Copies of this chain bind each other. A is one copy, B any other.
Amino acid sequence: MFKHLMAICAFCAFFPSALTIYDNKPGPLYPPTKGAIWPKPQYEEPEENYFTVNPSVIKIKVTGHTCPILKRAVDRYSFIVRNTNNLDRFDKKRPRSSLDEKTPERAVDRNHQGEFQELDVELTSQCRRYPSFNMDESYNLTVSTTAKLVSNSIWGILRGLESWSQLFYFTDDFSEVRINATNIVDFPRFSHRGLLLDTGRHYISLHNILKTLDAMAMNKMNVFHWHIVDDQSFPYQSEKFPELSEKGAFHSSMVYTKEDIALVVGYARDRGIRVLPEFDVPGHTRSWGEAYPDVLTKCYSKGQPTSLGPMDPINSATYKLIADLIEEVQEWFPDKYFHVGGDEVQLDCWESNPELQKYMKENNMTSSQLHGLFMRQVLPLLGDKVEPIVWQEVFDEGVPLPENTLIHVWKYKWVAEMMKVLKSGYKIIFSASWYLDFIKRGGDWEDYYKADPRQMVSSLHNDTLINNIVGGEACMWGEVVDDTNVITRVWPRASAVAERLWSAEMSSTRGKGELAEARHRIEEHACRMRRRAISAQPPSGAGFCVGAI
């Protein structure tokens, strides 16, 4: 009942059936590619030569350094490649044995180079314990009569294994699995490629957090930004302050224990993903007040206290609680960054409070300067070894910030904001164009795809400054997602952000063609995710995915 926008056929050479002046073509809107990697590698020379694959005999051999992370990755990718390419899944009439025998009537095909045997994995230096900002994620992958993956870093090996697993594809009739010969040199364009999940507005089960990490690994994202608590609930189960979740969580079953967090951190580490905790202060803290009302400000209306607002910035108990909690959180989250929030502080509440009015008057301060004072007192609590990340308001209010602070840009007029931040010498994480809670009918991943934060500030003509945009994050705020829809809402929409942050920038001349090509690749990628039990929703329009679980 609804006409599609007419699809311009940039790809007619590859998909002749798409050539039509009408929008009623049968079959998928964008036929998927076969064995195309998402996010697109920096350099790839795919060949027409291919190998057939018997998934059940595929081997991965470690030839260089090894470590538990690598061993588990080899087990994982062996399983993935065998399981997602299991032909039995597509044709129940086909007995397993027929696959193990050579098909005798195979037509002669000059591109066929025999059967794929083994991937050799060579890690040329020792493993690191945890992924980190600016870690090396580069790798080289060659598929030829022998297939070889080489990297100087365990994180590069993980990225390469993922790419290799994506090269396998089915023939149209699902009778055969193939992998084409290719040569890949790959590395990320941005260091910080994140996804924010908000577990304060709705509780998200551990199951779906782990599934999110699986999906992130498939998209080479490397930062899980855990916006763990907010006004509405406090699911972080502190050992030092158990009342925070006892009184602040939605329900006693809706908490994250120390063990849960250790599981998430370990699962993420095995996939080269950092876990960045956020405890947003002084705003978005109403749920803290269920257990500790005294650390929040009483908001006044017509001379009467009516509700609780942001944290009380002149109460020493506030800073004591934050300091003690941060100490515990840093023990549970090994990352070298800590997100202290600082956004959307209800300054009007502070302005309504008689004590704070008095304090501001005595100290000749505005409420905005009070916010600055608050952040100045909180930042040192992180200690020497941990760098802060703050939402842009903290920079905007002129708080003196440590040199390595990352400024998280999310608000309107983001280009002007980024210019200002960069000129001040700070580094940026960008999210303004990538708020996944805003949704259109379909295909909105294209808007995310076209948003390139470095291109936005290209008028600076200063590569050093421009490159201080070190990455970005897709943000899945939690008001309208819970366990029912968080996976389908995020994927494959966040995949567009993932490719923007990993792959080469779109060329100004060929950009349209690159987007048109991406429309076909993301169809394959979404189906690939579904075959690995991640319920990615349809990216753009009509289509189908065989073998989804």
Contacts and interface: CB of A to CB of B under 8 A. Distances in A.
Contacts of A27: 232-233, 250
A303 interface: no
A3 B477 CA distance: 11
Contacts of A438: 441
Interface string A338-355: 000001101001000000
A101 B289 CA distance: 39
Given A1-B391, A232-B28, A544 B344 contact: no
A309 B483 contact: no
A536 interface: yes
A439 interface: yes
Given A1-B475, A482-B537, A537-B481, A26 B290 contact: yes
Nearest to A300: B21
A203 B480 contact: no
Of A1, A202, A287, A537, most B-chain CB atoms within 10 Å: A1
A525 interface: no
B26 A233 contact: yes
Identify which of A29, A232, A287 gathers the most chain B CB atoms within 10 Å of its CB.
Answer: A232
A478 B344 CA distance: 38
A230 to B, nearest CB: 8
A306 interface: yes
B254 A307 contact: no
Contacts of A535: 484-485
Interface string A181-220: 0000000000000000010111100000000000000000
Contact of A24 (B4, B24, B251, B286): B286
A437 B482 contact: no
Contact of A441 (B346, B480, B548): B480
Contacts of A543: 202, 250, 482
Q: How many protomers of this protein does the assembly include?
A: 2
A127 B205 CA distance: 45
Contact of A488 (B479, B485, B541, B544): B485
A22 interface: yes
A530 interface: yes
Interface of A: 1-4, 20-22, 24-29, 198, 200-203, 227, 231-233, 248, 250-251, 253-254, 283-284, 286-287, 289-290, 299, 301, 306-307, 309, 343-344, 346, 349, 391, 410, 435, 437-443, 475, 477-485, 488-489, 530, 535-538, 540-546, 548
Shortest 4 CB-CB contacts between residues of A and residues of B: A442-B480, A250-B544, A484-B535, A201-B542
Given A2-B477, A479-B541, 6 more contacts: A2-B435, A24-B284, A26-B231, A438-B441, A482-B544, A482-B545
